[in-house]
Structure 1
């Protein structure tokens, strides 16, 4: 069923496999202490297409860990990724921002920030595709750390566009249908979510310092909205399902303190599959 490069075959993409059983994840409520790991009941056991879930899974990668690094814009994800990229036996996948800035000569990321009502679904459809490609690409090391995930793309950024009134309901419905099909039919294992919990004010300060062209138009209010959605999802657990346990790392500190925190949490992160 898999085509070259880990992609879905045309037959599967056309919907030939339609008898898959959806996995219902637990979504318990409660406050999550900062800097701690909370165990959430896992998804179904790692199985192949012929197992109980009916979801597709690539063979030979069940023992490898997948960690998703989550957090607001300018919360410090790049610093964290750079730190762990120097560790042996771990591969780091950054968000494919260069792809979002150049789709056959077009910049959907820049267009979305300029006019989200017009270009929101254009960007988010492509984000969903590229993040799915990240999840499905072959893992080259025992541990993979991904910058964000297909889950936060939907639960945070698509949700924010819709709640803010900048995405029409029909666009939200179409993206939701695609997301539901993907997560119903394809096994996307995540062993740990590392949440860099930074205040919107600190993120706004860092955002202005790094001066990325597309981000110049981002107001503090936008960061506050993204922050609240992350808190509802990963801390309060009152919104969308959690695909994995969560490790919260306070991220308002300076560089030296953040590096110290990454070192303190190194073992928890690198041994996520045993949590």
Structure 2
């Protein structure tokens, strides 16, 4: 039933929110295609977290080109033929560019973006995962990824604010905003099933999963 209503589901949220594990679980459960970010392929990413001012632009341009390549073969027609779950939106590239680049770098990035005219199908549903910066930091340290080892809580706090502001204005698709602070969609079947139930029950374009949701403004 979910895929009939939402053939393309995109999962978004800051680093450590649980996007990839939820996307993998949903794709397996719904038996649909899976499109994942591949941050480990970015040769600048580890350097970026050590020296953001120096490596922000090459990091961002690599991600832009990578995401364009990933979305290039995907159209609304083949999504309806074979539904899909992804763990990112193409618009995330603009979000991170505005967040990480200096003004001159952002102006250059915008010129490149406009020349390339990247395209991606709009999702039928966005699942936006939130958690406190402290929880995000705890999860990142626990998974021990080499390229994430220099991420700070201050960076996650600012990034969470950017996501909150972005989704406050986002209107391209229905959004369910999920407080993932105390939910484990990777290993807790009850949490996962409850989320699926809430998605099936959606009646408006913006809904919240967890009455104790916090906004980090």
> TM range, normalised to the smaller chain?
0.7 to 0.9
> Which secondary structure state, in structure 1, belongs to the residue aligned with residue 91 of structure 2?
helix
Conserved 8 A contact 2:137-2:156? yes
Name which of 7, 20, 28 aligns with 1:86. Answer: 28
Q: What is the CA RMSD across the aligned residues, in angstroms? A: 2.6
Aligned-residue offset at 1:230 = 0.7
Matches within 5 A, 1:1-275: 65-100=7-42, 107-138=43-74, 139=78, 142-155=82-95, 157-161=96-100, 167-183=101-117, 186=119, 188-234=121-167, 236-237=168-169, 242-255=171-184, 256=188, 258-267=191-200
Kindly tell me: are residues 215 and 80 of structure 1, through their superposed partners in 2, closer, same or farther at Cα, counting changes over 3 Å? Answer: same
Q: Secondary structure in 2 aligned to 1:231?
A: helix
Shift in Å at residue 187 of structure 1? Answer: 5.7
- In the alignment, structure 1 segments of 5+ residues that lack a partner are 1-62, 101-106, 162-166
Flag structure 2 segments of 5+ consecutive residues without an equivalent: 206-217
Q: 8 Å contact 2:60–2:97 — kept in the other structure?
A: yes
C-alpha separation in 2, matches of 1:268 and 1:90: 21
TM-score (norm 2): 0.77
Native 8 Å contact 1:92 1:144 kept in 2:
yes
Q: TM-score, normalised by structure 1?
A: 0.62
Match in the other structure for 1:57? none
Q: Distance in 2 between matches of 1:259 and 1:268?
A: 14
Cα distance, 1:266 vs. partner?
Answer: 5.0
1-structure distance, mates of 2:58, 2:138: 29
1:64, CA displacement in angstroms? 8.4
Structure showing greater Rg: 1
Greater helix share, 1 or 2?
2
Within 2, Cα distance between the matches of 1:192 and 1:199? 23
Which stretches of structure 1, 4 residues or more, deviate above 4 A after TM superposition?
none
CA contact (8 A) 2:71 2:119 kept: no
CA drift of 1:261 comes to: 3.2
Q: Could you say if the C-alpha distance between residues 229 and 176 of structure 1 is closer, same or farther in structure 2, counting changes exceeding 3 Å? A: same
Give the superposition deviation at 1:225.
0.6
